[in-house]
Amino acid sequence: MSQLAFVFPGQGSQSVGMGRALAETSPAAASVFASADRALGSSISRLAWEGPVERLDLTENAQPALLATSIAVLAALRERWAAGGLEAPRPAFAAGHSMGQYSALVAAGALSLEDGIRLVRERGRLMQASGQGRDGAMAALIGLDDARLPELVAGASVHGVFVVANRNAPGQVVVSGERPAVEAGAELARSLGAKRAIVLPVSVAAHSPLMAEAADGMRAALAGVGFHDPSPPLLANADARPVASAEACRVELVEHLTTGVDWIRIVERMAETGVRTFIEIGPGRVLTGLLKRIVPDAEVIPADDPASADRLLALATVPA
């Protein structure tokens, strides 16, 4: 059997109602949401299920709601395998897109669900507060040749901090930094051949040097949390290097706030090692779409899609 990987989405995949139907049918999923609520001392499950969307989309709410939903999806999947007397498949890697790294760490046993929920709530709060006084922004660029990125960064950086935050798929990039630089970069990207350049409706310059204060805050928060070596290993957001020890997990969660997410390289690295099946574990299908563009010949399965049920069961094995 070809190798498989678990991948976990980040902020932007949230939607009101996510995980509710699952919690109503899966005791394991319901238990995850209950644990998340206890960890925060408030009902993040109700916010995920009922909204309003304006509150759910706040960074400090979206991140714990996404983590709880992703782990609930995984718990329900494991429950289904066990009910069928099947042995769950062992992924070669777990990988998360930005905040999805926390979901991946919980799934890999490196971090408890409760600690993960509390950490992403703090991460969201710190991200919102970081860089105060320096108006941050982000923009999505569609259809720009990667070869033009150095020229884009050089030209936009004249106007302030400007970096490539995410390489999500071929021809799909997100840039981040100070608003004047991002707005100038969007204009420059169009002149360099981008089909679309959209300044996003956010005030947080994620994965840029403007997150330095958030990184310092998370370093302090992480110091008091227990970690274990992850199994399976993760891949670092910035450069796809293996994250295989407890200490490497701490480093990754600090570093990825100020460095970019090279999702293309992460997926290519997994494919190079023999991964041919990717399971997106979490709400929505954002990563499913990206994965199909990066590795068109791979099998990509969104775990929260009821149509995937039979294929997911077929990935498990009968215990010897």
Task: Check if 159 is active-site.
Answer: no
Residue 107 lies in a domain: yes
- Examine the domain organization and report whether 122 and 64 are in the same domain: yes
Q: Which of these three, 152, 177, 199, is where a domain ends?
A: 199
- Tokens for 122, please give them: 């703090």
Mind listing the pLDDT tens digit for each residue in 128-154? 888 776 789 999 999 999 999 999 999
Asked if 63 contacts 101 with a C-beta cutoff of 8 angstroms, the reply is no
Domain presence at residue 13: yes
pLDDT over 50 (residue 1):
no
Q: What is the CATH number of the domain that holds 195?
A: 3.30.70.250
Q: Which of 26, 130, 176, 207 is catalytic?
A: 207
- Among residues 199, 218, 252, the one where a domain terminates is 199
* Residue 207 falls in the annotated catalytic set: yes
Per-state percent for the chain, helix, strand, coil, to nearest 5: 50, 15, 30
Confidence of residue 249 (pLDDT cuts 50, 70, 90): very high
Q: What percent of the chain has pLDDT over 90?
A: 93
115 and 226: one domain? Answer: yes
- pLDDT of residue 260 exceeding 70, the answer is yes
Average of pLDDT values for 33-42? 98
Q: Which region among 117-121, 231-235, 306-310 has the lowest average model confidence (pLDDT)?
A: 306-310
**Residue 188 sits in the same domain as residue 160:** yes
Please give the residue range of the domain that contains residue 245. 3-130+209-315
In a domain, 283, yes or no: yes
Confidence band for 40, pLDDT divided at 50, 70 and 90:
very high
Same domain, 80 and 213: yes
Number of compact structural domains in the chain = 2
* pLDDT tens track for 41-50: 999 999 999 9
* pTM of the full structure: 0.95
pLDDT at 318 over 80: no
User: Averaged over 286-311, what is the pLDDT?
Assistant: 96
In terms of domains, do 272 and 287 share one?
A: yes
pLDDT at 75 over 50: yes
The CATH number for 294's domain is: 3.40.366.10
Tokens at residue 57, please? 């989309």
Asked whether 234 and 105 are in contact (CB, 8 A), the reply is: yes
Alpha carbons 123 and 53: distance in angstroms, whole number: 20
pLDDT, one tens digit per residue, over 176-227 is 999 999 999 999 999 999 999 999 988 889 999 999 999 999 999 999 999 9
Residue 320 lies in a domain: no
Per-residue confidence band for 320, with pLDDT thresholds at 50, 70 and 90: low
For residue 217, is it within any domain? yes
- Same domain for 86 and 165, yes or no, is no
Q: Give the residue carrying structure tokens 């899609």.
A: 305
- The active-site residue out of 98, 103, 130, 176 is 98
* pLDDT, mean over the chain: 95
Alpha carbon distance 23, 46 (integer Å): 11
Digit-coded pLDDT (tens) for 84-126: 999 999 999 999 999 999 999 999 999 999 999 999 999 999 9
168 and 96 in a common domain = no
160 and 307 housed in the same domain:
no
Asked if pLDDT for residue 2 goes beyond 70, the answer is no
Domain boundary, last residue among 175, 199, 223 = 199
Backbone angles phi, psi at 241, to 5 degrees: -70, 150
In a domain, 204, yes or no: no
Considering the domain architecture, whether residues 125 and 270 belong to the same structural domain is answered as: yes
In a shared domain, residues 120 and 267: yes
Are residue 97 and residue 147 in the same domain, yes or no? no
177 and 228 share a domain?
no
Residue 234, pLDDT above cutoff 80: yes
- What does DSSP say about strands 299-302 and 275-280: parallel, antiparallel, or unpaired? parallel
Residue 245 located in a structural domain: yes
